[in-house]
Amino acid sequence: MAQSMDETHSYSEPTALELLAEYLGRPWILVPALGLVTLVLYSGTLFFEFVWDDWPQIVNNPIIRTWSNLPRAFSSDLWYHVARHQVYYRPLFVAWSMLNFTLFRLQSWGWHLGAIVLHVGAVASVFWLARKLKLEYWTAALAALIFALHPIHIETVAWISAASDTMVAMFAALAFVAFLNGREPAGKKRTSWWMASLALLMCALLTKEMAVAFTALVGIYAWLNPADEKASLGQRVRGAVIEAIPYAAVTLVYVLLRKHALPHLTGQFDTGHGMLEMVRTLPLVLAFYLRQLLVPIGLTGLYYTPYVTGAIFKPVIVPAAVLGIALAVLWYWNRREKDSTVAFAGLWLLVGLAPALYLRGFGNGDFVRDRYIYLPSIGFAILVAKGLRLLPSLKAWSAKSVQVSATVALCSFYVVASLSQQVYWGSGFLVLLRGQKLYPGNPNVFVGLAAEYSERGAHEKAIELAREGVHEHPEYVYTLLALAETNIRAGNFDEGRAWLDRFLAVNPDFLKSETGIASVAGLYGRMGDFDRAFGLCDQILARDPNLYTALYNCGNIHLMAGKYGEAEQLLSRAVQLVPEEAGPKHYLGRALLQDGRVREAQPYLQAAVALDPKVWDYHYWLAAALERSGNIAAARAEYQQALRLNQGSTEARLRLAALEGK
């Protein structure tokens, strides 16, 4: 009995931290926990809008609206309807988009939820990959947590169109896991794992071009980890080549399939800059990525890193020195620890980024994007996790205490940095304002903000921005289109037409794409050149009668021409295609109102205001409908709101004054 009491007194209850560690020590609990953390971190993006490429790739993409178009996804460019000779061959991303459209139609929250779920899948894949690379359990868990929280992934998760980067990373990580499983000498079903690895690689390739680096990663791993540890250099090289050959064959099949689907591929190569300028610029680009990984602040979708053409010390020598130091640290670390995983993770980071380093495939300055580092950052997460687990004791702190404290501090920084910078992806306007603040010289900022201000009725500011863009970046042809559009929206038709003619003269391919034709038709309609506008509308609607942009623009053209019946037909179809958008409802309401059908018009005008209450003329036309129906008090309130949003509206001021006299 006394012995039993002694045992009772020596027993101590486990602490909460120990209990948590015990539960998380089970993968089937750890992985869902990582997923929950990721979901909470990005839950705010569920309230974000469609921005930028989301419009052509989702809202205005005819392919994704029915599964019967799936074969078309494998035989055409992702942006076939936007511009000819594009390079985006991503059929599995299109299939994912079809699934989202089936589930959520055009409810942006559902698409954002899908993007978060993909990131959760990528996080789980990173954990599995880290374990297969023989990382200790908690080190692998830490690598997955770092990957989940790192702010560099904001663009990829918060911007729906960047989900292809999440998909390719997930497929590539899983393909490598399967490769490692098939490589185990005593492993079961080695052939099945090997075949699964090849199939997953094809999935990655059909999602995004970044996967072309996978074969090199297989070869590098096989070279660093030969089947025979005593193999000579020649034997290691030969073994690495043999293991990489099947993956090279799959990549070749993908290249041939891509070439068949895109027979007129041009590559969009920048012919204005040579290889020497590209080589001079590469150290700056690589150092930029390294800085964003190490200190992820100042993140945006509008970085601007133009070619290095002048002085070389600051933009070339300094970045090259920084990269040299980073490589020296990795070399010393690998040599000291005699751990090939360090070398492999570092090479995964560099080789994984390689497809995005052919700068001539991008526009000048458009070289750095956070989404390009998503797949390579798996290597960075592994390196940071291993580094944290190597931290030594510090004075009164044990090594474990130092490691836990450093991990908590780093992850807390990641969470704060992520939450504070996610908000800038909430709308296209916020993205552009962020870009203007950080990189005001970016030509995309001039073009994008000019369009935003023009749509909001701030015509003078819009024209000023577009004119500045033409002056600062005469080589960027879309500044010409921006100046044409802003002038035409402002009613300066002669000047707008001159800039439009100039743009079409230097970029005739714009009128070869469906959306380009629809855009130009809309501009001719605004200028009252209805014959040319109707001719373009007939051309585009004959090609694709369900293209949202064509229905919307051509419906508005008929509205401006006073053909209210035709406008109603086209705009009604636009509303059916995109019921979540305010614009088609507003203009359909205007067509009905101007056709004298006030009772039918009012619900559409009210719906437009409810969907987008920040547009002044939505309130103005709703007020006009309310006034005509005899609801003077409600009309007065809407005119007042229109004036609050656009104080320069003479029409709203006059109508409000007229109502005050009643």
What's the CA gap between 578 and 54, in Å, rounded? 13
Residue 63 confidence class, pLDDT cut points 50, 70, 90: confident
483 in any annotated domain: no
The model's confidence at residue 81, banded by pLDDT at 50, 70 and 90, is low
Residue 131 lies in a domain: yes
Per-residue pLDDT, averaged over 124-138, amounts to: 96
Q: How far apart are CA 601 and CA 589, in angstroms?
A: 4
Distance of alpha carbon 407 from alpha carbon 582, whole angstroms: 46
> What pLDDT band is residue 233 in, cutting at 50, 70 and 90?
confident
CB 77 within 8 A of CB 266: no
| Structural domain range at position 230 | 25-425
The residue among 346, 91, 37 whose CA lies nearest residue 209 is 91
Number of domains in the chain: 1
Q: Does residue 4 register a pLDDT over 70?
A: no
**Which residues partner with 397 through β-bridges?**
394
User: What DSSP string runs through 606-623?
Assistant: HHHHHH-TT-HHHHHHHH
Q: Is residue 59 part of a domain?
A: yes
Phi and psi torsions of 644, nearest 5° = -65, -35
Print the SS3 string covering 166-199.
HHHHHHHHHHHHHHHHHHCCCCCCHHHHHHHHHH
Give 389-414 pLDDT, tens digit per residue: 999 988 888 988 899 999 999 999 99
Helix 399-422 with 27-41: angle, nearest 10 deg: 40
Alpha helices in 439-563 (DSSP H): 443-455, 459-472, 478-489, 493-506, 514-526, 530-543, 548-560
Percent of the chain with pLDDT over 70: 94
Which long-range CB contacts under 8 A does 25-31 form with residues at least 24 apart?
Answer: 25/137, 27/127, 30/127, 30/141, 31/124, 31/127
Q: Which residue matches tokens 């020296």?
A: 328
The pTM assigned to this predicted structure is 0.87
Give the list of residues 6+ apart from residue 182 with CB closer than 8 angstroms, or none. 190, 191, 192, 193, 194, 196, 197
Cross-strand pairs, 305: 365
**5-17, pLDDT tens digit by residue?**
444 455 566 666 6
Among 82-96, 160-174, 215-229, the least confident range: 82-96
- Exposed (0-12), middle (13-18) or buried (19+): which is 596, by Cβ within 10 Å? exposed
Identify which of 552, 301, 566, 263 has the alpha carbon closest to the alpha carbon of residue 424: 301
- Distance CA(554)–CA(533), nearest Å, equals 8
Asked if residues 133 and 176 have their Cβ atoms less than 8 Å apart, the reply is no
435 located within any domain:
no
Q: For the chain, how far is it from start to end, CA to CA, in angstroms?
A: 99
> Does residue 58 form part of some domain?
yes
Compute the distance between CA of residue 172 and CA of residue 223 in angstroms, rounded to an integer. Answer: 19
Taking a C-beta distance cutoff of 8 angstroms, is the pair 158, 422 a contact?
Answer: yes
What are the pLDDT digits (tens) for 234-290? Answer: 889 999 999 999 999 999 999 999 988 887 665 555 667 788 889 999 999 999 999
Instruction: Let me know: does 583 contact 614? Beta carbons within 8 Å.
Output: no
Range 502-509 contact pairs with CB under 8 angstroms and sequence separation of 24 or more? 503/477, 503/478, 506/477, 506/480, 507/477, 507/481, 509/83, 509/84, 509/85
Q: What percent of the chain has pLDDT above 90? A: 67
* Mean pLDDT to the nearest integer, 590-611: 93
Q: What are 344-387's pLDDT values in tens digits? A: 999 999 999 999 999 988 888 899 999 999 999 999 999 999 99
What angle is formed at CA 368 by the lines to CA 435 and CA 438, rounded to 5 degrees?
20
Q: What average pLDDT does this structure show over 115-144?
A: 96
pLDDT per residue as tens digits for the range 470-484? 999 988 999 999 999
Instruction: State the residue for tokens 């993409």.
Output: 61
Residue 202 lies in a domain: yes
For residues 9 and 121, is the Cβ–Cβ distance under 8 A? Answer: no
Cβ neighbours of 356 (radius 10 Å): 22
Is 225 within the bounds of a domain? yes
Cα dihedral 572, 576, 580, 583 in deg (nearest 10): -20
Q: Is residue 14 part of a domain?
A: no
Nearest to 528 by CA among 483, 484, 482, 497: 497
DSSP assignment of 530-596 equals HHHHHHHHHHHHHH-TT-HHHHHHHHHHHHHTT-HHHHHHHHHHHHHH-TT-HHHHHHHHHHHHHTT
CA distances from 603 to 330, 551, 599, 619 (A): 65, 20, 8, 13
Alpha-carbon distance 400 to 593, whole Å?
72
pLDDT value for 93: 95
